[in-house]
Amino acid sequence: MEMGRQKQRRKQRKRKQRRRKQRALNAVAAGGVAGAIKDAVQKKSGEIWSSTFKSLQQWHHQQVQRICRVQEEEENIEDEEEEEDEEQETLQEQAENMEDEFEVDPDYLSFLEVTIKHQQELKQMRAAAATAEA
């Protein structure tokens, strides 16, 4: 009987050992699955952060480019305005110089006055002739 009892005990121990091994394997597998899930989540969150960071970099680059473009346009406008101001100043200076250099002959002015009077007299004569005929 002892033999039967010892045999039973051995079988019980083996079953117990098998259960322990199975539990250990299940724990490792569960830990492996949990670890795999954790790794996948970390990888996915890493990808999300990476893509978010890239998007932020692109957005920042676009903002910097836009600001630089606006500043360049403002500088160009300021340069153009300065050039226009310089041109106006040179034109004014030239006009003043022309006025200083150009003297009007009083005889020429009297000739123009006489010419204008003659033109007005001709218009009046034509108007009077037109009313006399009608």
Q: pLDDT 10s digit of each residue in the chain, 134 long?
A: 567 888 888 889 999 888 888 877 776 666 666 666 666 667 777 777 788 888 888 888 888 888 888 888 888 888 888 888 888 888 888 777 766 666 777 888 889 899 999 999 999 999 998 888 86
| Distance from C-alpha of 23 to C-alpha of 8, rounded to nearest angstrom | 22
Task: Check residue 22 and give its pLDDT.
Answer: 82
Residue 125: per-residue pLDDT: 92
For the whole model, what pTM was predicted?
Answer: 0.34
What pLDDT was estimated at residue 116?
92
Q: Please tell me the distance from the alpha carbon of residue 125 to that of residue 106, in angstroms, as a whole number.
A: 29
| SS3 state at 104 | coil
The three-point CA angle 22-26-30 to 5° equals 175
- Distance (Å, whole) CA 80 – CA 31: 72
What pLDDT score was predicted for residue 113? 92
Q: Which long-range contacts (CB under 8 A, 24 or more apart) does 116-123 make?
A: none
In the prediction, which pLDDT does 68 show?
A: 85
